[in-house]
Structure 1
Amino acid sequence: MPASANRMRRTLAVLLPVTMVAVTELPAQPPIPPTRRMSAADIDTVTLARPSIRQPYGADSLQWGELRLPDRQGRAARAPVAVLLHGGCWIASFATLRNTAPLADALAAGGMATWNVEYRRSDSPGGGWPNTFLDVAAAVDHLRVLARSFPIDTARVVIVGHSAGGQLALWAASRGALAPASPLYRADPLRPAAVVSLGGITDLDEFAQRAASGCGRGVPRLLGGPPAELPDRLAASSPIRRLPLGTPTLHIAGEQDGIAPDSVRQGYVQAARAAGDAPSVNRTVPGGHFELLDPRTEAGRTVVRELLSLLPSTRPGG
């Protein structure tokens, strides 16, 4: 295990003074041969094994999530929570929360509660600026409501985002520094213990230019115009402009991931460290952009192991 990853775990152990317990061993899953790079559609066909509880966090038809609970490990035990934010270029037709459901399933089997979130995208009625961001904020903060009825621990939350969801996950961790005048401001935001970006977008301006003919075209749709023409919106939403987050971050992507290449991820990590965010860790795994979401792949199993080892599995009490 890289020394930087060990430092991240030690940091979390200091931040979260709870009883450490062993991570639940992952259930065996049949591997799949690495014949080609996977797509979002491939991930949507992965069989799910655990039940989920559909819960709304707002009145809109897209403001809901799936809560999965681990098996109870003792009476009155509360489990840490992974909030999962799917990607899809911030465009509704590209992906839904079904894309992150296999990862949610595997984490729940391993001992973490999961809150797999749907939200309005740039082309959803009422979506885009600022409501896509406000949906994510409301979904994260809704964990406090869920904790009244379910055995989850809101002091031990990791926000996990894939692709465009990685941008939203990193942004969600920065909300405490937003000015009250910002349209993205929400009082008393729930602060995560860590953020894990899976092939995530760390720099909206850079991505909009680099991938202008592909997924990057979703950036002006998200912001309501070209980033260069909206500097205030860019500053309020682009992760690299939000540093320091004040939260440990782990960035994982496939070695063949063109959405989040190593050079861009490393640039963010270096900027985060320079701003005082420590630790900020960058890891590369086999595969492309979507293998990270499939627990049957080497990349997916690495993601699950990393997430399960970030936080203790349970703590007593309410």
Structure 2
Amino acid sequence: MPILSRKDLERISRRVLFRYLTLSDSKMDRIDPVDFAEKICGLHFAFADMSVTGSILGLTSYSDVDLTISVPRGNGSVQEFHLNGNIAYVDQNLANAGSVGRLNFTLVHEAAHQILGKLYPEEYNPSAQPFICRLADERCTYPITDWVEWQTNVLTAYLLLPRELIDRYMDELGLGRQIKLLNKVFAPKEYALFSEMAKRLGVSKTALSIRLDNLGMIGRNDFSDPYAPIHIDADDFDTAWEVVVIMAKINSKALDPQRYACIQAEQQELEQQYSTHITMARLCPYCKLRLETLCKGAHGATYLKCPQCGEVVFFPPVVFRIA
């Protein structure tokens, strides 16, 4: 089978999408998987309980020769699926669960198999592999061991999320040319706009984050781990500081109001007890007479603003004394 790069697959997606646009009459707000599959591949979908465990999401074939696949059921019976190259079966649970993004990705995924099979009929040999299953636990791992599924997944993302639609919604939602920090906890406003973008495009947030990342449209991507630690290199100090400033959005009062009130009371007490004016002097150890004044002024207590929660913290003077 051919080993296609991301650039190869993007070129294929551009040709296919151009063909799809010529067959469509109205302005496109998103890619409609059912309409796309029918117009481009002549492919129709049927929903069924694909497996007892839910491990199979989709089933299709490259060949236009009638083919019957038998899948064992939990009660000892066998369910048969009839394939002819013009039909793809999709797990009914995807529709029942209301997971629009995952459902749409599976539908276009099955169409992408058909597209690659027709473009490379010798490499995607139907006699060697007459049908294709999309499994629920498919993950992109490196090094790549299943090039058929990797290429199909990448092509699916390009077809569902063309650059023009992404640019359009980035502008409409006020996200500009790049999301500097994608983080549900520390950048909730940007994350909400990102979620709205995924909704409008009819894709999952996972698929959109991967696509934006590959396009270089996310500065720091914490989608999978919003509490990931920040690693700052000396050359990236300015960017890292900007990230820290953006992260100053934890509402500590809302997280734990009781603890917040206790700390606030302690802070007020410290401010009353200590002055920001301090005098340092040498005292006689015998009678405590001040022999010499070293310095005096605002050298003691200080205020610092926390870059994470935005609270201004009062710190009393540091006192050194002989035990």
Structures share fold, TM-score greater than 0.5? no
Q: Which of the pair has the greater relative contact order for Cα pairs under 8 Å at 6+ separation?
A: 1
| Greater share of residues in helix | 2
TM-score (norm 2): 0.26
TM-score (norm 1): 0.26
| Greater share of residues in strand | 2
Structure showing greater Rg? 2
